[in-house]
Structure 1
């Protein structure tokens, strides 16, 4: 539990400082580093843990490019870069989730549930976890659409607040809301802590402990 609290506090601090920099110093190289650096480091760490060498090489190259831009003093007007980064990340994750819905593939949330339950799962969970995967696809592409609309029709501070605060809060609301709805619709499903599902999604390999 303490890990979830620490992660939530870290994300809140990251979001607050990213928003402050993007509103007050969007052209600063430090704003660029703070916005892009941590996600690239996390991507590199996950790629190394899962032995995805191409992804690791791409992440390392992107970090090197970011260091070069920092040394040159940034990019000047980088608002479009921030919007593009936000849209590409959410669009890419949504595309990965959507790809698992194709015929012959295992939906993303189904595969996570199978890891949690050691490869065995109640029959009713297969259509349910497919619908949850579809909900996450709708979330990611909905975020992309709202991001572009706000950039086009609202001021920069509103877009920054949406990208840094509203987006992760919506993701958290969907995660917790689905968890509560699951046991209301299917009280027969065994109870699994949210932290276990998050760990199953994050960690490579087979079944995960439910402790």
Structure 2
């Protein structure tokens, strides 16, 4: 399989993970899913490989301590924690993630744009914190159907709403600058 095909497969598996767990958990159990999810986590996060591997090891440790299902369900929590770490680190050192993305389209970003992208990066940090907290609650307290619904559907709708809301705000912001 070509490299791009492997990347696409990884993306599909990562996005569909909660639904795959819901559909297959009854048939294969927690351990195989925990191992597969941990491998997927370590593989799909190249921008934070070390942190992803530590998180994957933490999930496996949960399983080793007798909590394989919790380790399996904690996958979305760890993804949010890694994304929060990446975005937060970019605010502390170097150029914020959103500014880097904005400069791909507009290399000479004005100072107001730099301030705006910093605020958007902070907003994503807030999103990953809230989404991770809800994912954690569903992992600990919700049944598998609710966990799958939130982490496999609702969280993606919320991500889309976050993108759409930021896009609308950015349009207003840019029109004021013009």
In the alignment, the residues of structure 2 paired with residue 178 and residue 157 of structure 1 have an alpha-carbon distance, to the nearest angstrom, of 30
In the alignment, the residues of structure 1 paired with residue 153 and residue 86 of structure 2 have an alpha-carbon distance, to the nearest angstrom, of 23
In the superposition, relative to structure 1, how do residues 10 and 95 fare at CA in structure 2: closer, same or farther (>3 Å)?
closer
Give the count of matched residue pairs: 163
Stretches (4+) displaced over 6 A = none
The CA RMSD measured in Å over matched residues stands at 3.6
Offset at 1:136? 0.5
Query: Do the aligned residues in 1 keep the contact of 2:131 with 2:155 (CA within 8 Å)?
Result: yes
Equivalent residue number for residue 27 of structure 1? 29
In the alignment, the residues of structure 1 paired with residue 105 and residue 119 of structure 2 have an alpha-carbon distance, to the nearest angstrom, of 18
Offset at 1:132? 0.5
Relative to its length, the structure with more helix (as a share) is 2
TM-score (norm 1): 0.60
In the superposition, relative to structure 1, how do residues 30 and 79 fare at CA in structure 2: closer, same or farther (>3 Å)?
closer
TM-score (norm 2): 0.69
Equivalent residue number for residue 117 of structure 1? 106
Offset at 1:77? 5.3
Equivalent residue number for residue 134 of structure 2? 146
Equivalent residue number for residue 107 of structure 1? 96
Equivalent residue number for residue 75 of structure 2? 85
In the alignment, the residues of structure 2 paired with residue 81 and residue 26 of structure 1 have an alpha-carbon distance, to the nearest angstrom, of 15
Gaps of 5+ in 1: 1-5, 67-73, 191-211
Gaps of 5+ in 2: 1-7
In the alignment, the residues of structure 2 paired with residue 125 and residue 26 of structure 1 have an alpha-carbon distance, to the nearest angstrom, of 50
